[in-house]
């Protein structure tokens, strides 16, 4: 459930541009997660232990 202001959810108070920006940010975040997951298992030998990727601090 989202937070509420009076009788309305906060999301109802957001502009179209703000909603679009949030959606684009979510897509970009998901694309990064998928790229990391693909790189983690790329060219792995079956049954071999997975290599752990070191990520730079955020």
What is the residue extent of each domain of the chain? 10-41
Alpha-carbon torsion 52, 53, 57, 58, what sign? negative
The phi-psi region of residue 43 (left if phi > 0; otherwise alpha if psi is between -120 and 50; otherwise beta) is left
The whole-model pTM stands at: 0.54
Q: Per-residue pLDDT averaged across 6-14, rounded?
A: 78
Q: CB-hemisphere CA count at 13 Å for 15? A: 3
pLDDT digits (tens, 9 = 90+) for 32-50: 999 998 888 777 777 766 6
Which residues are 8's β-sheet partners?
5
């Amino acid at each position: 459930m989202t937070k509420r202001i009076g009788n309305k959810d906060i999301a109802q108070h957001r502009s179209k541009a703000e909603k679009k920006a949030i959606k684009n940010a979510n897509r970009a975040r998901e694309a990064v997660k998928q790229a990391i997951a693909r790189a983690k298992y790329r060219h792995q030998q079956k049954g071999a232990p997975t290599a752990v990727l070191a990520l730079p601090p955020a």
